Structure 1
Amino acid sequence: MGVPFDDFKFNRQILNAIADAGYTEATPIQQKAIPPILNGQDVMGIAQTGTGKTAAYVLPILMKLKYAQGNDARALVLAPTRELAMQIEENIRKFAVNTDLRTVLLYGGLGPKTQIESIKKGVDIIVATPGRYLDIYLGGHIHTKPLQILVLDEADKMMDMGFMPQINRILEVVPRKRQNLLFSATMSDKVHVLSGNFLEFPTVIEVTPQATPAQTINQSLYFVPNIKTKINLLKKILDRDEEVKKLIVFCKTRTAAEDVYKFLVRKYDEDQVKVLHANKGQNTRINSINSFKNDEVKILVATDVASRGIDVTDVSHVINFDVPIVIEDYVHRIGRTGRAYQHGEAITFCNPAEEYYLQQIEKLIRQQVSILPIPEDVFIEETPYEERQEQAREIDMQKRRDDPDFKGAFHEKKERVEKKKPLGRKQTLALKHGKPKTTRGKSFKKRG
């Protein structure tokens, strides 16, 4: 049973905003995180997306800041992607609607001029990606002295994306005396090191065991031999139209995302499907997310760049068209469904070369994903030669990763080819003109 928000020491402005947003009870992460944050303690929260963790730190920050003051930010929230930064800023605006607190959003992909102008007008909370924050700070437009609270959200993703140097640089320039909050879905070794450098005697909050998918998500798995069969199976699942209300299809590369998108556009039309990956322009990405959120679009095809920035409560299905290579991304992908206590379906397609990553995922989430047979009316295509070779190369690479002495089929073949030395130029010419062979300039002709 949830705790009502009235039990926390929030003022009437914040309580009204919570009620207007349609929330009545705090989620487990909010129940555990809000009191220590209000008390000024450093907090480390291990929680999946979809558990209400953004509000778990946003609400107490708003309560601590209360009203607009001065020109410089007193709270800084760092997020790994622009999509997630936008999502956090949207949450802050929703809960700060009855206050005069000023929020500025900073991210790359467009010129910094407008963002700098917003900062100069006065700001209380900055939400930023690390690179853009550092650029604007180094340009002399941000004063860090008044900063009281620093939040690192999705810390594990920041580590994966290589933001450690920028974060360390930011930690050098912000005041030493401040409150620190770190939130992560997994407690990887890198996050552990970061928390040691970043937090002082933190309150550690773990609402579910690390990397455990939400209980509201039903996970299932199909072993599928190749891409064409994956497309056939996707078509079959989509034909069960009444079950699939809102769907995200995750692919591991931009090329795969574009191919799946083109197939879906042929099946439906452009108004029903959007594609989201790093090659798309900033405005296109924002429009795609908004269209999906506002129910204008039923299907979103995305790479992992989007798996952390989409906060849509009514996604009925997530399909992993490819098994993610960064295994932690599996938890984030399927966390797009089953949000806010709603039921969700997460379906994974796995080819022979992806079984290695699937085993790693099952170790991470400490459970086995249910295997389903491919429906009889799904046509199983023969795997083309090139795709077979690619899968074999990938399996060799995986075996080599686990055993550095493993040579692999491709290596042996290569060695055999190398032992057979090519003919020299003179030998080739001699054969061409029907003359006796020569080896390294010595003739086999009878002498005088």
Structure 2
Amino acid sequence: MGVNFEDFKFNRQVLNAIADAGYTEATPVQQKAIPPILNGQDVMGIAQTGTGKTAAYVLPIIMRLKYAQDEHPRALIVAPTRELAIQIEENVKIYAAHTDLRVVALYGGLGPKTQIENVKKGVDIIVTTPGRFMDIYLAGHLVTKMLQVLVLDEADKMMDMGFMPQINRILEVVPRKRQNLLFSATMSDKVHQLAGNFLEHPTVIEVTPQATPAQTVTQRLYHVPNIKTKINLLKVLLAEPEDIKKLMIFCKTRVTAEDVYKFLLRKFGDKEVKVLHANKGQNTRINSINAFKNDEVKILVATDVASRGIDVSDVSHVINFDVPFVTEDYVHRIGRTGRALQSGEAITFCTPSEEYYIGKIEKLIRQTIPVTPLPAEVFIEETPYEERQAQAKEVDLQKRKEDPEFKGAFHEKKTLNQRKKFDAARAKANPNSKAGNKARSNKNFKKKR
């Protein structure tokens, strides 16, 4: 028997907003997090995206603030990416619809002028990325003394993106007496360290075992020899698109994302497909997300900048065109599908040099991803020489990472050059050394010749 939102100590305004949004039953993270947050405790939540965690902290914040007051913010929500900040702002507006609470989102990619004007009109809840918050604060446009609640959402992603210095600066400028909430999909050492600095005797809630993909997602793995074969496999999988209602394709780099997008553009036209990566302007990115959300396009090609913070409830399929280097990103990518208890499918294409990362992912998710043979109609291309070399080099690096003693195919030549450089440097530093004598005799021998 599920827990109903009516069972929490929410006022009528909040309950009406929840009903308007079409929710009746609380998700596991909401059941566990809402009571202690309402109680004013610090909370650390281990929960992946798509579990309903935004509502788990936004609803109690709205309950706590109740109505607009003064002009300075009383709640601060910090998110790693602008996409996620925009998404959280939208959620706050939905849940605060029956109140007069004011919310402003601050993020980069746009000039700060309008955002500063919005803050000056008076604000209760600020949703922000770390850098933009500090920029506006240091320019003297923000007063933090009224802050009562500070939320760090997707803390692991913030650590991966190197935001620790900015987070520490934010902690220095907010009042010491406040409620702290931290949410993260995984529990890395850096997140542990941050939690230690940031939380006071927190209530820890863990919804699923750490970093496990949603149970509603079916996973599949295809082994392919090269990038061209990946394109051919994509072509075959998209030839029967009836069951693919909404598809996200993830690529490692902007270049690959652009190439895959151009291929799909030729096949489907721009009425069916959009692309999302860091080289695109902020407005283009927002337009792409909205077109995908509103079912105007069926396929969104993206880099990992988009794998978090896009709340699209009915993505039926995710394709990992490339295996991610950051293993946790796999969980976030496939977390785009199977959301809100719907089923979804996650398909991964893997070349020989990416198998190493699949091993790391399987260790993290404590599952073996089932391998599916390539369909007979997929044309298997010959791997070009450059790509073969790049793959071999990557495999060498991976083996050396695991075993520093390993001497691979690229080892001898590199080591010989390194030794020559080392000897030359030693000879220069100490002309009477063995290396110096050797260098002199080589020089004399060349002169005689």
TM over 0.5: yes
Structure 2 match to 1:402: 402
Show the 5 A alignment for 1:316-395.
Answer: 316-395=316-395
Separation (CA, whole Å) in 2 of partners of 1:135 and 1:400: 42
Show the 5 A alignment for 1:28-47.
Answer: 28-47=28-47
Pairwise CA distance, 1:416: 6.5
Q: Quick check: 1:21 aligned with 2:21?
A: yes
Q: Quick check: 1:242 aligned with 2:248?
A: no
Pairwise CA distance, 1:404: 2.2
- Identify the range of structure 1 (395-404 vs 316-325) with the bigger mean alpha-carbon deviation: 395-404
Separation (CA, whole Å) in 2 of partners of 1:406 and 1:114: 56
Separation (CA, whole Å) in 2 of partners of 1:321 and 1:372: 15
Pairwise CA distance, 1:414: 4.3
Structure 1 residues 25-65: Cα deviation after superposition (integer angstroms, max 9, x where no partner): 00000000000000000000000100000000000100010
Separation (CA, whole Å) in 1 of partners of 2:196 and 2:52: 25
Pairwise CA distance, 1:109: 1.0
Pairwise CA distance, 1:2: 2.0
Pairwise CA distance, 1:164: 0.2
Structure 1 match to 2:7: 7
Q: Quick check: 1:162 aligned with 2:166?
A: no
**Any gaps of 5 or more consecutive residues in structure 2?**
421-443
Instruction: State the secondary structure of the residue aligned to 1:242.
Output: helix
Structure 1 residues 217-275: Cα deviation after superposition (integer angstroms, max 9, x where no partner): 00110011100100011111111211111000000000000010010001110111100
Pairwise CA distance, 1:310: 1.0
**In angstroms, what is the RMSD of aligned CA positions?**
1.4
Q: Quick check: 1:233 aligned with 2:233?
A: yes
Separation (CA, whole Å) in 2 of partners of 1:235 and 1:360: 28
- Identify the range of structure 1 (239-248 vs 34-43) with the bigger mean alpha-carbon deviation: 239-248
Pairwise CA distance, 1:439: 6.2
Instruction: State the secondary structure of the residue aligned to 2:243.
Output: coil
Structure 1 residues 377-421: Cα deviation after superposition (integer angstroms, max 9, x where no partner): 11111110000001011111111211223232112244578999x
Show the 5 A alignment for 1:170-249.
Answer: 170-249=170-249
Structure 1 match to 2:439: none
Instruction: Mark the CA change 1:415 to 1:165 in structure 2 (over 3 Å): closer, same or farther.
Output: closer
Structure 1 residues 310-362: Cα deviation after superposition (integer angstroms, max 9, x where no partner): 10010000000000000000000000000011000000000000001100000
Instruction: State the secondary structure of the residue aligned to 1:37.
Output: helix
What amino acid is the match of 2:50?
G
Q: Quick check: 1:117 aligned with 2:123?
A: no
**Any gaps of 5 or more consecutive residues in structure 1?**
421-437, 444-448
| Largest Rg, 1 or 2 | 1
What amino acid is the match of 1:390?
A
Structure 2 match to 1:442: 448
Q: Which structure 1 residue ranges, 4+ long, deviate > 6 Å from structure 2?
A: 416-420
Identity of aligned residues (%): 79
Q: Quick check: 1:82 aligned with 2:61?
A: no
Pairwise CA distance, 1:110: 1.2
Instruction: Mark the CA change 1:109 to 1:418 in structure 2 (over 3 Å): closer, same or farther.
Output: closer
Separation (CA, whole Å) in 2 of partners of 1:419 and 1:45: 51
Separation (CA, whole Å) in 2 of partners of 1:69 and 1:218: 47
Separation (CA, whole Å) in 2 of partners of 1:183 and 1:153: 5
Separation (CA, whole Å) in 1 of partners of 2:236 and 2:369: 20
Separation (CA, whole Å) in 1 of partners of 2:225 and 2:193: 40
Separation (CA, whole Å) in 2 of partners of 1:419 and 1:25: 67
Instruction: State the secondary structure of the residue aligned to 1:274.
Output: strand
Instruction: Mark the CA change 1:64 to 1:371 in structure 2 (over 3 Å): closer, same or farther.
Output: same
**What's the TM-score, normalizing by structure 1?**
0.93
**What's the TM-score, normalizing by structure 2?**
0.93
Separation (CA, whole Å) in 2 of partners of 1:66 and 1:24: 21
Separation (CA, whole Å) in 2 of partners of 1:52 and 1:414: 51
Instruction: State the secondary structure of the residue aligned to 1:105.
Output: strand
Structure 1 match to 2:314: 314
Show the 5 A alignment for 1:284-323.
Answer: 284-323=284-323
More helix as a share of residues = 2
Separation (CA, whole Å) in 1 of partners of 2:115 and 2:336: 29
